[in-house]
Structure 1
Amino acid sequence: MGVLIDYFRAPDGETAFRLLDQGDGIPHGPATAGAGVDALDAKGIDPYVVLGQLIGLILAVPWSTDLIETVAVWPPEETKPGSVEEMNGLPEESPWHTGPWLEELGDRIRDALADVDDHALPSIADEWARIEEFDGHMDATLALDIIESFVALARRARRADDRLYCWICL
């Protein structure tokens, strides 16, 4: 089973959720939401580790688990379990276990992507392509294409005063 991951822009969490809700109260991915969603299909590029390492390279800081800050839009943040024990106590069908998940990325991430020097992108792509998570299956040319797509999305988001969102589904 693969993990589907899409990134997109919206003015706020409520709008992001509405863009993906097809009337059943569940945020379906931008690819299934139809036209009008400025999105990037980024299968395999999770926000915390893989995108986090890209952001670390852009900001010239070491990657760490707290580099990427997000706020849960779905399931709602206020329903988030406060501990591992609480998470383990949730029913198997809880959306915290099954997804989908919709996360709002912090503006620091959007701005890091939007502000990156275009001339630095090839060297960043070369380094990013070699991270352990790609397991040797990413070349610098493809990495550069992906990074350029992220940068373009972030720049459009900032121009529109939008935020970036990540939708994840198993």
Structure 2
Amino acid sequence: MGVLFDYFRAPDGETALRLLDRGNGVPAGPATIGTGVDALDAKGIDPFVILGRLVGLILAVPSSVDLVRTAGVWPPEETKPRSLEEMNRLPEDSPWNTGPWLEELDDRIRDAFAEADDYALPWIADRWARIEEFDGHMDATFALGIIEDFVALARRARRADDRLYCWMCL
């Protein structure tokens, strides 16, 4: 079972949760909701490793797992287990075990994409398509399309003074 990732923009975490609420308080994926959510269905592109590798290429810095910083929006922070023992006592269907999860990306990431040099994007896509995590299964042309979508989303977010969010589910 894989993890799915959708990226979208919203003014703040509270609004992000409202945009994704199907009436039960648990955020549904923005790609499944459609109207009213400016979203990007990024399938297997996690915010920490694969997106981090892309951000490293855009910023021309070494990639690292802490390059993309996030803040948890869902599940609610006050329900977060404080120890491994508490985590082990959670019911199997706890959102901390099963998701979905909603993370707010640091504005540095939004701005890195928004300020990306359009002329450099094909070169970045070529390098990103070759990262180990894609295991040779990413085409540079397809990678360029994904990058252009991220850049466009980030530019719209910055113009609106919105933040970027990543919704994840199993």
Range of TM-score over shorter length: over 0.9
Question: Which residue of structure 2 aligns with residue 6 of structure 1?
Answer: 6
Q: TM-score, normalised by structure 1?
A: 0.95
Equivalents in 2 of 1:43, 1:83: separation in Å? Answer: 30
The count of corresponding residues between Structure 1 and Structure 2 is 170
Helix, strand or coil at the partner of 2:125? helix
Distance 1:88 1:61, change over 3 A: farther
Using the alignment, how far apart are the partners of 2:59 and 2:129 within structure 1? 17
1:92, distance to aligned residue in structure 2 (A) = 1.5
Seen in structure 2, the aligned counterparts of structure 1 residues 138 and 78 have a Cα distance that, compared at 3 Å, is same
Cα deviation digits, residues 107-130 of structure 1 (max 9, x gap):
000000001111110111011000
| Alignment-derived partner of residue 147 in structure 1 | 147
**Which residue is 2:43 aligned to?**
43
Equivalent residues in 2 for 1:104-143, closer than 5 Å: 104-143=104-143
Give the Cα–Cα distance (whole angstroms) in 1 for the partners of residues 117 and 162 of structure 2: 21
Distance (Å, rounded) in 2 between the aligned partners of 1:128 and 1:87: 35
1:156 maps to: 156
1:92 maps to what in 2? 92
Q: Shift of residue 36 of structure 1?
A: 1.1
Give RMSD over aligned pairs: 1.2
Q: CA deviation at 1:77?
A: 2.5
Q: Distance in 2 between matches of 1:79 and 1:104?
A: 18
Mapped to 1, the partners of 2:56 and 2:83 lie a distance apart of 28
Q: How does 1:23-102 map to 2 (within 5 A)?
A: 23-102=23-102
- Give the deviation of 1:88 after TM superposition: 2.9
Give the letter aligned to residue 22 of structure 2.
Q
C-alpha deviations, 1:61-110, integer Å up to 9, x for none?
A: 11112111111111012333344443333222110110000110010000
Q: TM-score scaled by structure 2? A: 0.95
Provide structure 1 residue ranges, at least 5 long, that are not aligned to the other structure. none
| CA distance, structure 1, for counterparts of residue 82 and residue 131 of structure 2 | 31
Once residues 159 and 44 of structure 1 are traced to their aligned partners in structure 2, the CA distance between those partners, rounded to angstroms, is 27
